Structure 1
């Protein structure tokens, strides 16, 4: 129970990687606040969380700054503190570079970068009290410049940039800020693998460990580590949880 009594906000945690992290942290004793727009999936995940520890579901549009501030306030009012902030939610659409529009940038930055930034600002006073942990999300799409991912890659690299700044500014106050860049077998990826098996096999063959990551067993366990005292001397780092696909220098 490495996270017993800790309180964690995880955005986009009704399903996918967010759900995997929520379950992994809950099994280590953390109270999980699921923040999502999908109430049906959120309720299902909350029921799973409650089998391990008391959780909370907040249905909200986090692209609006006022909703972000209200979420942090509601969490502190219920649990009395905030120890862990995991900014996982992000939506985007693919397009060739020359076909990328302002609307696509607005979608990617509005659902990924700005909510991450606003949550970090809103949570800072509480994380300062608890010497807390922040986990943000990057992607190999940004690190490697994946085609058709202009708006997504830009937002993810912007998230890495502000994470490094915050790690320097907040380090003296005992707040750790790190980044996970994952590859995981979510429901969407699994559906794609069935409709495009040859493309899926080609992708697997480009992963040195020759498999997709498991949202709970692989990504979730790294999130547990970065949320626990075991990672107290790690901050400002991008952790590639991608089977060896990208090797940082």
Structure 2
């Protein structure tokens, strides 16, 4: 019960990596506020979370700043505090660089970068009180410049940039800000695998550990570590949870 009594927000928590993190934290005793736009999956994940602890579910569009401020207020009203903020939600479209438009950047920054920024600002007063943790998400797309991912890579690297700034500015407040850069076998990847077996197998062969991460056991457990007191002396770091695919220097 490494997170017993703590209160965590997980955006994009209804499915995939977000669900894995929500469940991993709930099993360690944290109250989890799930934020997503998928009501059906959100309700299912909330039911799973409630088997271990008390959770909340918000079906809200996080591209709207006012929604973020309202949710933070409601979470504090319900649980009395915020200890952990996990900014996992992000949507984007992959197209070649020359076909990338402002609409693609608006989608990626509107669902990923700006909500991360607004959630961090809205939660800061509470995180300062609890000496809390922020866990943001990076990607190999930005670190390696993967093809067809200009808008996604740009937003992810922008998130890394503000995370490092916040780590420096908020360090004296006792707030830790770190990032996870994952590769995981999410439902979306499973669907792609089932329809593109050769491409999937080729991708796996490029991963030193020869598998994709499990959203709960691999990514979720890393998030639990970063949210726990065991990570109190880590901040401003990008943690690669990708089977060894990218090795930072």
Q: What is the TM-score with the length of structure 2 in the denominator?
A: 1.00
Give 1:34 shift: 0.4
Q: Distance in 2 between matches of 1:241 and 1:172?
A: 27
Q: Does 1:142 align with 2:142?
A: yes
Q: Which residue of 1 aligns with 2:153?
A: 153
CA deviations 1:40-92 (Å, max 9, x no partner) are 10000000000000000011000000001111000000000000000000000
Give 1:191 shift: 0.6
SS of the residue corresponding to residue 46 of structure 2 reads helix
CA deviations 1:124-159 (Å, max 9, x no partner) are 000000000000001000000000000000000000
Q: Which residue of 1 aligns with 2:13?
A: 13
Give 1:188 shift: 0.5
Report the number of matched residues: 249
Q: Distance in 2 between matches of 1:172 and 1:133?
A: 13
Q: Does 1:242 align with 2:242?
A: yes
Q: Distance in 2 between matches of 1:68 and 1:236?
A: 24
Give 1:7 shift: 0.2
Q: Does 1:105 align with 2:105?
A: yes
Aligned-CA RMSD value: 0.3
SS of the residue corresponding to residue 111 of structure 1 reads helix
Unmatched runs of 5 consecutive residues or more in structure 2? none
4+ residue runs of structure 1 moved beyond 4 angstroms?
none
Q: Distance in 2 between matches of 1:220 and 1:41?
A: 18
Give 1:165 shift: 0.1
Q: Which residue of 1 aligns with 2:172?
A: 172
Q: Which residue of 1 aligns with 2:70?
A: 70
Q: Distance in 2 between matches of 1:222 and 1:240?
A: 10
Which structure 2 residues correspond to residues 1-249 of structure 1 after superposition, within 5 A? 1-249=1-249
Q: Distance in 2 between matches of 1:137 and 1:201?
A: 25
Q: What is the TM-score with the length of structure 1 in the denominator?
A: 1.00
Give 1:113 shift: 0.1
Q: Distance in 1 between matches of 2:36 and 2:145?
A: 28
Give 1:38 shift: 0.7
Give 1:248 shift: 0.1
Q: Distance in 1 between matches of 2:238 and 2:18?
A: 18
CA deviations 1:209-235 (Å, max 9, x no partner) are 000000000000000000000000000
Q: Distance in 2 between matches of 1:12 and 1:74?
A: 18
SS of the residue corresponding to residue 20 of structure 1 reads helix
SS of the residue corresponding to residue 10 of structure 1 reads strand
